């Protein structure tokens, strides 16, 4: 997100966003994402070779969970960008009502 978008967030949202940025910037986060991506692939492979429907579903679910970890940074970015856009729209509506 750019600085303008971050400024549109409430102080609480801005603080949480900055904390998340700090976490996602840590070298340890990169290790976790690599680990989760490898486990996601392993679970997909296990699902393809599963000998029962239950085992397949378990592996598919585990792959999805690891996939969520891999995509967490993008998901948070999208969520906070949407919050910033909502704040902008609310501000625009308020500004328009002043001119009416």
Predicted TM-score (pTM) of the model is 0.80
H-type alpha helices, 25-52: 27-49
Residue % of the chain over a pLDDT of 70: 96
Which of helix, strand or coil describes residue 26?
A: coil
What's the pLDDT score for residue 100?
63
Each residue's pLDDT tens digit, 57-95: 999 999 999 999 999 999 999 999 999 999 999 888 877
Domain range list for the chain: 12-99
Per-residue buried b or exposed e for 20-39, using 16+ beta carbons within 10 Å of the residue's own CB: beeeeeeeeeeeebeebeeb
Give the C-alpha distances (Å, rounded to integers) separating 82 from 3, 22, 86: 14, 20, 6
Residue % of the chain over a pLDDT of 90: 87
Mean per-residue pLDDT of the chain: 94
């Amino acid at each position: 997100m750019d600085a303008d978008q971050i400024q549109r967030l409430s102080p609480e949202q801005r603080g949480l966003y900055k904390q998340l940025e700090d976490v996602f910037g840590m070298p340890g986060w990169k290790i976790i994402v690599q680990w989760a991506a490898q486990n996601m692939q392993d679970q997909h492979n296990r699902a393809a070779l599963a000998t029962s429907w239950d085992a397949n579903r378990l592996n598919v679910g585990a792959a999805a969970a690891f996939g969520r970890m891999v995509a967490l940074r993008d998901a948070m970015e999208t969520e906070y960008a949407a919050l910033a856009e909502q704040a902008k729209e609310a501000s625009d509506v308020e500004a328009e009502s002043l001119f009416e």
